Structure 1
Amino acid sequence: MSTPNAGPPLSASEERTWAMVAHIGVLVAAWFAMGFLCPLIIWLVFRYRSDFVRRHAVESLNFQISLLIYSAVAAVLIFVTFGLGVLIVVPLVAIGAVVALVVIILATVAASGGNDYRYPLTIRFVR
């Protein structure tokens, strides 16, 4: 999976570093409610230079897109139930936030060890 203008291949250390950034970087981007930006940028920049980084960036990107969709569904549920959905959504969001943080950390650790990671409950839009 190489193209002429992609640049030189990454070293094993660089691959692990950028794969880790694809996961943990979403915590920085999430401050701006754009958690998907970090893995999207890493995927766009490194997808032809490293299959390992591409796999991790795609997995992180798909997880972030899935979280965005789940959040939109929760907002619609609150709106449709005239606010009563808050009683269900707020505890689920709190639990979901903790679970998301844990799986992001697990994915980052897997990337630092040179292993692949699959996020749970992820809709795989980007391949």
Structure 2
Amino acid sequence: MAPRTPPSAPYWQGPPPQQAHLRVSNQDREQVVEHVKAAYTEGRLDKQEFDERVDRAMNAQVHADLMGVMSDLYGAPPPPPPMPYPPRHPHPVPPYPRTSDDRPAAAAAHFLPLIGLSVIGPLIMLLAMGRTSPYVRAQAVEALNFHITLLGATILLSITVVGLVLVPLLWIGGLVAGIMGGVSALGDGRFRYPLSLRLVK
């Protein structure tokens, strides 16, 4: 008796979802029929089941039809291999220790630019508390880098007519991002400004 051998791909591993609806060839049908014959020879199918599966295989139109014929003969497809490393946050933020006094000061680094102190506000908080509080320093540096980027983009875009139209939208986005940064600093402090050149470390 021939040993029980799983069929080759795609009917052992299963066709990819985007291929399940594709039409099959005569060779695909014959491949499945051969494995149905082997299962019948091994006594895993009776005559009625054998005839039914051969008929289904020979009349299969798409790969999903053939997969249905084979699924309970060779089990479910093997699970995908585990990821070697857990997915990382795109911008990991160290869990800096913080006290109740750190949170308002860190939030101020994000909120001060909203009242006109664009680069000056985060810089003040960095110089005032950056040495004594790693948390305030991290938040002030993040806000400072964003507003340096925003200021530089404003200067460059102002040279062109299209840029003049984009500048107000850019500052509205900066306003929203600053509010989000300040709220985050009062909580977990893991907010990261988008499209920011991190020049200050």
TM tier relative to shorter chain: 0.7 to 0.9
Structure with bigger RCO (C-alpha 8 Å, 6+ apart): 1
Residue 17 (1) aligns with residue 91 (2): no
How big is each residue's C-alpha offset from its partner over 1:65-87, in whole Å with a ceiling of 9 and x where there is no partner?
A: 10111011012x23xxxxxx2xx
Higher helix share: 1
* Distance across 1 between alignment mates of 2:140 and 2:190: 11
Give the alignment partner of residue 173 of structure 2, picking from 99, 104, 107: 99
Q: Which residue in the other structure is 2:152 paired with? A: 69
User: Alpha-carbon deviation of 1:108?
Assistant: 0.7
Larger-gyration structure (1/2):
2
Tell me which amino acid in the other structure corresponds to 2:110.
H
Query: How many percent of aligned residue pairs carry the same amino acid?
Result: 34
Q: How does 1:25-64 map to 2 (within 5 A)?
A: 25-28=112-115, 30=116, 34-64=117-147
Give the alignment partner of residue 111 of structure 1, picking from 137, 162, 185: 185
| Superposed CA RMSD | 1.6
* Distance across 1 between alignment mates of 2:143 and 2:191: 9
Instruction: Show structure 2 runs of 5+ residues with no match.
Output: 1-96
Count of residue correspondences: 105
SS of match in other structure, 1:119:
coil
SS of match in other structure, 2:100:
helix
* Distance across 1 between alignment mates of 2:125 and 2:155: 25
The TM-score with structure 1 as length reference comes to: 0.76
* Distance across 2 between alignment mates of 1:72 and 1:91: 13
* Distance across 2 between alignment mates of 1:55 and 1:11: 11
The TM-score with structure 2 as length reference comes to: 0.49
* Distance across 1 between alignment mates of 2:126 and 2:144: 8
How big is each residue's C-alpha offset from its partner over 1:44-96, in whole Å with a ceiling of 9 and x where there is no partner?
A: 11111111100000000001110111011012x23xxxxxx2xx123311221
